[in-house]
Amino acid sequence: MHDILLFLLRCLLLALVAFVLAIPVWQKYLSSNTVKGRILIPKENLKESYQKFKPEIDSLNKAGYEFHYFNKGFQKADFSKAIADTTKSKSASNVSYWTLAQHLDGQVPSTLPVYLFTPNSASHFNGLKPQVALNLHWKTYVPADSTSTWIENAWLANNNDIIVVQGNSKPGGTSYTNYTVQSGNSRNTPFVVNTDNGRLTVSLKNYSPIAVDTSTWRFAIYADKGTADAGYLKAALGSIIQFTRHKATIKQYADPAQIPAHQDWIFWLSGENVGTELAQKSDNLFVYENGKVKAVNSWIGSNTEGLSANKIALYKSAVAGNNHSTTLWSDGFNDPVLSMDKRGQANIYHFYTHFDPSWNDLVWSDAFPKMLLKLIVDRPSHLNEKQDHRTIDARQLLPAMGNETHAVQGKITERIDLAKYAWLLLIIVFVAERWLSHKKALQKTGRRTLQHG
């Protein structure tokens, strides 16, 4: 070994890389006599929370309570410096407040008073409500930006009017309202209609535009001869088109080979085996599932809304032979009535009963067009955080309080993040290694020059 120092520097460099990747922290225990309690506030809501609870937070600070951010790691900070900091905070963390409360439970003894100040937005609470053994005082408030409005969807109607679905979210809940913007006349509406590179767009004033759907829904139906199933389906689809006013065509075919490509939906209402090529002709293929037919005394319900209040009667169904990925409708025994999986780019819907009234009462139910509409118009079930302004009641958000005490009782932990120090040391060692390596290379080059000279 000729360059011992260079070898040691490179070993140290590798060790420091591993150290940084391990996200190092220094954990120490503090005496309970020196810490009166803790104040925790999310970093992204610090100033607003302080404005809402200024007298109480000031009182706790004077009493000697430690301030920590209510974020991952619960970083300790100087409250006066944090409030004076004019740096814009990053967007809110996607970690649930309940998850953070569960982690806090493992770091703070049950006897230490903890005051937590957060907004009560429902978007911050997901997963299971935890059970903790904390002396917790959780104060919440409705954020200042407690309402939001956005365009959820927009499409072109048959008469060239634009149908706009506007979403509105406020503490009490989220709702959607349909508006009609008449062709060539948007002056008396809150919407701005433009054409961008040949694409029709609509927006709320001072908001980013979204593209207007100018496509035509194409529904193709194939059914067994002598059955009325196609007639019931056409009536439901007609109701959907009348309600949404979306451009659409419905055609029934006697020969599957005549069904053209680029269909939005193909409904295969037949006991015949469906060809694999049909999935390539449409985005969505709705198929009567073949299998042993059994008589049942049950009902049909949508899994997203629970069982129908009217309990749509189910008399016959085919035994599910495959375990498809997602069950959309189920019966009272939780067996699938409609399930969905993927085949390439197409969605395949497996229907284990028929639209024939001898199989069920679905076609007689007012819920039938609504259930089909939810399949055709796939609206997201979860709003993003900027849109969702619903609030949660204090009685719902508070974790369940356990009577057990912690094993860390009497010991208060403080974590110091060592990552920044490790990064600094890593940079210093890297610079030193590069300098020494370059120096060695120059020395070798000089020796070779002397030898040739």
Going from N- to C-terminal start, the domains of the chain cover 1-24+420-453, 25-143+391-417, 148-211, 217-376
Mean pLDDT (the chain, rounded): 85
pLDDT for 383 beyond 70: no
Q: Assess contact for 296 and 316: CB atoms under 8 A.
A: yes
Mean pLDDT lowest among 7-21, 162-176, 208-222, 414-428: 414-428
- The mean pLDDT value for 51-71 works out to 94
Alpha carbon of residue 43 to chain centroid: 22
- The type of residue at 149 is T
| Residue 58's pLDDT band (cuts 50, 70, 90) | very high
Note the helical H segments in 348-390: 367-376
Cα 288 from Cα 338, distance rounded (Å): 10
Residue 61 has pLDDT above 90, yes or no: yes
Q: What is the pLDDT of residue 365?
A: 93
Asked if residue 277 lies in contact with residue 330, where contact means CB atoms within 8 angstroms, the answer is no
Residues 395-439 pLDDT 10s: 888 988 776 655 444 455 566 677 788 888 888 888 888 888 888
- Both structure tokens of 215: 């496509």
Checking if the pLDDT of 312 tops 70, the result is: yes
Residues facing 327 on adjacent strands? 339
User: Could you tell me the end-to-end alpha-carbon distance of the chain, in angstroms, rounded to an integer?
Assistant: 28
Model pLDDT, residue 447: 65
Return the C-alpha torsion angle 441, 446, 452, 453, nearest 10. 170
325: which DSSP letter?
S
Q: Is the pLDDT of residue 30 over 80?
A: no
More confident residue, 268 or 148: 268
Strand 199-204 versus strand 210-211 pairing type: antiparallel
Please list, in sequence order, all residues whose beta carbon lies within 8 angstroms of the beta carbon of residue 263, skipping any fewer than 6 positions away.
Answer: 218, 219, 220, 281, 282, 283
pLDDT at 16 > cutoff 80? yes
- Which stretch of DSSP H or E encloses residue 448? helix 419-452
Asked if 120 contacts 144 with a C-beta cutoff of 8 angstroms, the reply is: no
Q: Does 267 or 111 have the greater pLDDT score?
A: 267
pLDDT in tens, 128-147: 888 999 999 999 999 888 88
Residue 261 is given by DSSP the state S
Residue 448: is its pLDDT beyond 80? no
What's residue 439's pLDDT?
Answer: 80
The residue-averaged pLDDT of 106-128 equals 89
Residue 210 to residue 203: CA distance in whole angstroms? 6
- Integer-rounded Cα Rg, in Å, for the chain is 32
Please give the share of the chain, as a percent, with pLDDT higher than 70: 88
Residue with tokens 């011992």: 4
Question: In the prediction, which pLDDT does 291 show?
Answer: 85
Find out whether 278 and 265 touch, Cβ atoms under 8 Å: no
Query: pLDDT value at position 436?
Result: 82
Q: From CA 301, how far away is CA 377, in angstroms rounded?
A: 18
Alpha helix (H) ranges present in 263-404? 367-376, 394-397
- Quote the CA–CA distance of 206 and 191 in Å, as a whole number: 10
**Residue 125 reports pLDDT greater than 60:** yes
> Which CATH code, of 1.10.3720, 2.60.40, 3.40.50, 1.10.287, is assigned to 217-376?
3.40.50
The share of the chain scoring above pLDDT 90, in percent, equals 45
Tell me the pairing of strands 191-196 and 162-170.
unpaired
pLDDT in tens, 354-380: 999 999 999 999 999 999 999 998 765
Q: Which two tokens stand for residue 182?
A: 């008449």
Pick from 2-16, 296-310, 387-401: least confident: 296-310
